[in-house]
Structure 1
Amino acid sequence: MTPVYFVGAGPGDPELITLKGKKLLEKADCVIYAGSLVNHDILKVCSPQTRLVDSSTHTLEEIIDYMIQEVSQNHLVIRLHSGDPSLYGAIQEQINELDNRGINYQVIPGVSSVGAVASRIKKEYTLPHGTQTLIITRMGGQTPVPESEQLSTLAAHRTSMVILLSSGFIDQVVEELSKIYPLETPIICAYRVTWPDERIIQSTLEKISQAVKEAGIHRSATLLIGPFLNHSERYRSYLYGEWINENRHFPFS
């Protein structure tokens, strides 16, 4: 029986899907995609005969039943998720159901908005002699977060931090972060990064809430805070230090 493929569609730009993901889409009999979260231009590589199903109008049980119906006919089924499926992809509950039914599956990673935002603002999260840790988290909402993972608790580490799925709670985000960071601390809100209507707001902790609200942003945005946003010219890696000429020989030198 053909396995179900969970494929990461990337952050939005159709060219940021992996080659493996694109090849699977080209051969797919059925693609169950994540509604408005996936750029529909990505689906243009599918065959005209491919059945396209918007998962936003279906329950988990309906999605699983549809997968089983298709794979039982040896059809190639793609479950297309935005970004990378391993980050807030809600794939574990689907995987559990497939395991219970003895259905094989594979997961194809994708480019996350975490990496896409860094590329757009031309920054590195992990700086030599600076922060070496990246925290990826979200504000508690309908789905709560553990007490030990409150934003203020994580921010106390003062490392690079990416806050997903939280622009709709921007006031609470600011309240939590301001327990640790001064109000003049730089913060970025990146809306629908790599999409045609991408918008990146660079502000301070004091003014970001108003800026986000004025822009009408309440979802599909990534928030960034941490030392890596400051000027980083002083951070130089050991890997490419001056000692390199004394310890390495390059064939082209």
Structure 2
Amino acid sequence: MVHFVGAGPGAPDLITVRGKQYLEEADVVIYAGSLVNPKLLEYTKDICTIYNSAKMTLEEVIHVIEKAEAEGKTTVRLHTGDPCIYGAIREQMDILDEKNITYDYCPGVSAFCGAASALNLEYTLPDISQSVIITRMEGRTPVPSKESIQSFAAHQATMVVFLSTGMLEELSRRLIEGGYTADTPAAIVYKATWPEQKTFVCTVGTLAKTAAENNITKTALMIIGDTVAAAHYDRSKLYDPEFTTEFREAVKSKTHHS
């Protein structure tokens, strides 16, 4: 059996209870060594065999899984955050399907959630933004042309940009070209939830300058939009006393007469 497990954003206690249990039971762990906190490997038993997939190809990963399956062992494929976002799990699952190897998938806390917690930030404020766009700049890995930064910027929604720390001047240019202003609030979160976490609130126009001044070159998320620094926003209707819900009748506001 193979368990794909989301390791969470970094802090070893932010893995799910289920994910931790799978790690404790695993005979073989293949972990994304470039991003997964190695302290998570302390949950494994002494006889567990551990592989760092940062140094492996897809074919080598599958070979390790096949060998473990042939020996009746349990494998955990440990990915950073939640592997449904930039986790490259589908290509692994498709091969396992072809080989009739059974697997399941244990979700994790994504780095974009960890980044929000680092800033005590809510991405979806009622009259500011009700959508979160998760995207990346194209680098060595291309991005479909219909998903350009400029096209997403036109929505003025909250945007979380992964895997783009080394291209911040170009990111700013495209965000402004698409519709954000240079003074739109932005933030850089480095290694969210790790002990070395750092947060910087800036603007779209100062993203590259802020990163350079603080030596941030990788392993960071950029958050774009007014929710980063919104001073005024509407209250949630869910907790508004004048709003009826399934569980509570609205209470009309009292008018006081002198």
Would you call these one fold, judging by a TM-score over 0.5? yes
Deviation digits for residues 90-124 of structure 1, max 9, x if unmatched?
11111111111111110100000111111111111
Superposition TM-score, scaled by structure 2 size: 0.92
Shift of 1:159: 0.4
Out of 31, 46, 49, which is 1:48 matched to? 46
Out of 7, 12, 28, which is 1:9 matched to? 7
Partner of 1:120: 118
Shift of 1:233: 4.2
Query: How many residues were matched structurally?
Result: 247
Q: Secondary structure at the match of 1:35?
A: coil
Deviation digits for residues 70-91 of structure 1, max 9, x if unmatched?
0121111000000001000011
Partner of 1:193: 192
1:97 maps to a residue whose letter is I
Q: Structure 1, unaligned stretches of length 5 or more?
A: none
Superposition TM-score, scaled by structure 1 size: 0.93
My pick for the range that moved more, 124-133 or 162-171, is 124-133
Native 8 Å contact 2:82 2:109 kept in 1: yes
Shift of 1:215: 2.2
Following TM superposition, the consecutive aligned residue runs of length 4 or more in structure 1 with deviations greater than 6 angstroms are none
Native 8 Å contact 2:187 2:202 kept in 1: yes
Q: What's the Cα RMSD here? A: 1.6
Q: Secondary structure at the match of 1:37?
A: coil
User: Aligned equivalents of 1:113 and 1:81: distance in 2?
Assistant: 12
Identity %: 40
Partner of 1:227: 226
My pick for the range that moved more, 87-96 or 235-244, is 235-244
Native 8 Å contact 2:131 2:157 kept in 1: yes
- Residue 187 to residue 245, structure 1, CA distance change in 2 (3 Å): closer
- Residue 18 to residue 49, structure 1, CA distance change in 2 (3 Å): same
Out of 95, 98, 111, which is 1:97 matched to? 95
Out of 28, 41, 60, which is 2:26 matched to? 28
Shift of 1:232: 4.6
Partner of 2:71: 73
Q: Structure 2, unaligned stretches of length 5 or more?
A: 250-258
User: Aligned equivalents of 1:154 and 1:128: distance in 2?
Assistant: 19
User: Aligned equivalents of 2:227 and 2:113: distance in 1?
Assistant: 14
1:108 maps to a residue whose letter is C
